[in-house]
Chain A
């Protein structure tokens, strides 16, 4: 009697478990469906709002990617955005000009702009502002690719650039130290490696992009602000007003030197490829490209990243000029912080325009005569 009771109990337990599994499967699928629906609906709503923005970084990126049609384009990070006045270039060269610089961005963002621009038209001139450390691997530069996420679904040109965020370069990370240093210890059991090397060969960004909400991660407040603000600059230029103090300048020079002396910096092949792709595509379409380093508080010094930039420019026969070496800009009155102020930017852009004119727009025949 007792045996049959325990058999019956065990059968009931098995039935309950089996029911539980089915319940989990059924409810799990139902929840997944709700989640997908929710994600698509909310995602579409935010997508709509994103492209309704009139001002702010999102609106500027959308303009640059989809509407910009100026003859000359200035590319760069915040230094590009603040140190170059496109109106001066336009007046001097008699062509329209737009400053597409974006705070905190690097070569990847510029690569996306060029791809998008070339899909619509061929600009006459592209000025690329770089800094000497531009080509080093930095995690944060990949993190900042999230500005491309809202365009992932609509613009196929930016898709694979965005996906670099998930691939990065698995052998590099900020401040890699190899332990131990003795050659005898360089075998599997003693090598200090990154955990990422062991991760599955899956680009998780591709997986995350299946969520429409995730494409607008951390941008909802900017979107709301962008809808209600009005666009301030028609040319993309964001001049800075004010002059740096001597003390602040010395602090920044010291900090910059410290950053430059950091160990473990490695040139990033993805960035080199990005620069190569830009120069190759632009020059093959007949666009004139001018690569520069705008003036800085202290002259830049040669280092592997700097050297890499020069080598790529040489390979594509593109002129390169480092204006940080020009001591005529070595006045505090031209700087706001690490960036030039409006006066400095105007002076620099006038001279840059004159140099560009000499390089590209002086008729060769006239020179020969």
Chain B
């Protein structure tokens, strides 16, 4: 991970613009309100456009002009993307939009507003907060609360487990296949396993980070919004979407989908609006067509649920008719696979690599299988079993929404249980150089 100190000015620039824009929007009337909102949005989107999308746009422009034989020699910008830029610009935009909508009174304290944008637990990778939830908490007096501290620590421990025991372990296998797909040609099973592993790696990496961010804030007395709600236990692709990166999906829902009309203007208009949302969500993730295609593929799955509603309901009736649990399992597995088909674009180095990956998944020529370093496979599988056991417990067997582990009630046993969890992290966690996937956005 690298730093360029001068980049702090970007953050200061957007903070100043949005702070004053919030006040001006509140004071102004009529079209002037909108003008100040547009100024704020232009500043934030402008920063994103320059640092995140300029070279991408230029690359595509060059490609198109080359296609027509008109070579444009516009130089690329020699810049790198500041860490967490997409997160804090989105958080900043939600502030001015909420002030514009009259849902939130602007903050008059520059320090508090700066803290809203730069609150350290969620600065680099979210959850992308809304001003209504976070800013009032900065004005409250935070007393020491034993139960809250313990709950925060447990959440951080679970996040750490997800990151170092599951995500980073599976990541070693995934990297080998996705980075060198041609070395595994003729091994369809390898491509399937790697796709499954990546889906779990992605969730545990980002979900693990989110748990640690939310947990650390909770220790200090701050409640951040839930970012993942056990997405792979979702019964349908729609449910997976609702449980995944909630702070971002609701952001796009509140500020893009609903203003476009949502589903209010009919099914087909609703599908179009959803398409716009998914296109922007893809682009938000990175200036690369692989991200856009990932989200567009997921959009196709979501849209087909709307288009084929009757057939899907019939199908659900049949599988749930056999046994409710059977129906649940089938639904969950199908939804999970909609996810993995999309994530292949997300993880592939290029669109060509992704297409090659898909073709290999379905080239059932041999049962040859790359098991990598065997211990990676076994530790990874152990991690996956732990993940689903804990999440099924959280989903089905407890009413306490803050409960994380199925811990014993007896104090001694509980201490031993947590000592055991930490021992597993020490014994099979991956502690070597690795970073969080979402830090790059």
Q: A192 on the interface (CB 8 Å rule)?
A: yes
Closest to B433 in A: A139
**Contact of A38 with B420 at beta-carbon distance under 8 Å, contacts A20-B144, A179-B80 already known:** yes
Q: Quick check: is B5 within 8 A (CB to CB) of the other chain? A: yes
Contact partners of A357 in chain B: CB under 8 A: none
Q: How far is the CA of A17 from the CA of B429 in the complex (A)?
A: 35
Please, which residues of chain A bring their CB within 8 A of the CB of B428?
217-218, 220
Residues of B within 8 A of A221 (CB): 374-375, 378-379
Asked whether any CB of chain A lies closer than 8 Å to the CB of B139, the reply is: no
A208 — which chain B residues lie within 8 A by C-beta?
Answer: 431
User: Is the beta-carbon distance between A213 and B426 smaller than 8 angstroms?
Assistant: yes
Contacts of B145 on A, CB cut-off 8 Å? 17, 20
> Are A31 and B78 closer than 8 Å at their CB atoms?
no
How many residues of A are counted as interface, with CB atoms below 8 angstroms from the partner's CB atoms?
A: 40
Give CA–CA (A30, B403) in the complex, Å: 22
B78, A211: Cβ atoms closer than 8 Å: no
A34 at the interface (CB under 8 A from B): yes
Option from B78, B416, B426 in Cβ contact (under 8 Å) with A39: B426
Chain A CB within 8 A of B99 CB: no
Residues of chain A contacted by B143 (CB below 8 angstroms): 13, 17
Q: Is A17 in contact with B427, judged by CB distance below 8 angstroms?
A: no
Q: Measured between C-beta atoms, what is the minimum distance from A248 to chain B in Å?
A: 11
- In the assembled complex, the Cα of A20 lies from the Cα of B149 at a distance in Å of 10
Q: What's the Cα separation between A195 and B2 when bound, in Å?
A: 5
Minimal beta-carbon separation of B187 from chain A (angstroms): 16
Q: How far is the CB of B156 from chain A (nearest CB, A)?
A: 14
Pair A190/B4 contact, Cβ less than 8 Å: yes
Q: Tell me the B361-387 residues at the A interface (CB within 8 Å).
A: 374-375, 378-379
Point out the residues of chain A lying under 8 angstroms from B150, CB to CB.
24
A301 CB to nearest B CB, Å: 24
- Residues from chain B with a CB closer than 8 A to the CB of A198 are 3
Within 1-32 of B, Cβ neighbours of A (below 8 Å) are at: 1-6
**Given A17-B143, A31-B415, A31-B418: A195 and B429 interface contact (C-beta under 8 Å):** no
Decide yes or no: A218 and B375 within 8 Å by CB, A35-B422, A38-B419, A139-B433 being known contacts.
yes
Shortest Cβ gap from A356 to chain B (Å): 35
Mark contacts of A139-182 with chain B using CB atoms, 8 A cut-off: 1 yes-contact digit, 0 otherwise.
10001001000000000000000000000000000000001110
Most interface-central of B2, B378, B416, B429 (chain A CB within 10 A):
B2
Query: Looking across the interface, which residue of chain B has its beta carbon closest to that of A38?
Result: B419
* A42 CB-CB contact with B under 8 Å: yes
Rounded to whole Å, the gap between the CB of A179 and the closest CB of chain B is 6
When A189-B6, A218-B375 are in contact, do A194 and B1 touch as well, CB less than 8 Å?
yes
A193 close to B431 (CB less than 8 A): no
Q: Evaluate contact between A192 and B4: CB separation under 8 angstroms.
A: yes
A34–B418 Cα distance when bound, in Å, is: 10
B260 CB to closest chain A CB (Å) equals 39
Bound Cα distance A189, B4 (Å): 7
Whether a CB of chain B sits under 8 angstroms from the CB of A48 is no
Q: How far is the CB of B436 from chain A (nearest CB, A)?
A: 13
Measured CB to CB, the nearest residue on chain B to A34 is: B415
Query: Contacts A38-B416, A191-B4, A194-B2; is A214 near B146 (CB within 8 Å)?
Result: no
Contacts of A213 in B (CB 8 A): 423, 426-427
Contact status A179-B3, CB under 8 Å: no
Chain B residues with CB under 8 A of A31: 415, 418-419
- Is B430 part of the binding interface, using a Cβ–Cβ cutoff of 8 Å? yes
- Residue on B with the closest CB to A198? B3
Report B-chain residues with C-beta under 8 Å of the C-beta of A35.
418-419, 422
- Residue with the highest number of chain A CB atoms closer than 10 Å, among B143, B416, B433: B433
Given A13-B143, A38-B419, A221-B374, also A143-B432 (CB < 8 A): yes
* Contact (Cβ within 8 A) A179 B374: no
Task: Let me know if A38 and B78 touch, CB within 8 A.
Answer: no
**CB-nearest residue of chain B relative to A204?**
B431
Q: C-beta contact mask, A19-46 vs B, less than 8 Å → 1, else 0?
A: 0110110000011001100110010001
- Inter-subunit contact B3/A39 (CB<8 Å): no
A21 pairs with B144, CB closer than 8 A: yes
Give chain B interface residues in 407-441, CB to chain A under 8 Å. 415-416, 418-420, 422-423, 426-433
B interface list, Cβ under 8 A from A: 1-6, 78, 80, 143-146, 149-150, 374-375, 378-379, 415-416, 418-420, 422-423, 426-433
What 4 A-B pairs have minimum CB-CB distances, sorted nearest first? A20-B146, A38-B419, A143-B432, A195-B1
A and B contact pairs by CB, cutoff 8 A, 9 listed: A35-B419, A38-B419, A38-B423, A42-B423, A46-B427, A181-B78, A194-B3, A218-B428, A222-B375
- Residues on A lying within 8 angstroms of B by beta carbon are 13, 17, 20-21, 23-24, 30-31, 34-35, 38-39, 42, 46, 139, 143, 146, 179-181, 188-196, 198, 208, 211, 213-214, 216-218, 220-222
Given A20-B146, A221-B374, A221-B378, 19 other A-B contacts at CB below 8 A? A21-B146, A24-B146, A31-B419, A34-B416, A35-B418, A35-B419, A38-B419, A42-B427, A146-B432, A189-B4, A189-B6, A192-B3, A214-B426, A214-B427, A217-B427, A218-B427, A220-B428, A221-B375, A222-B375
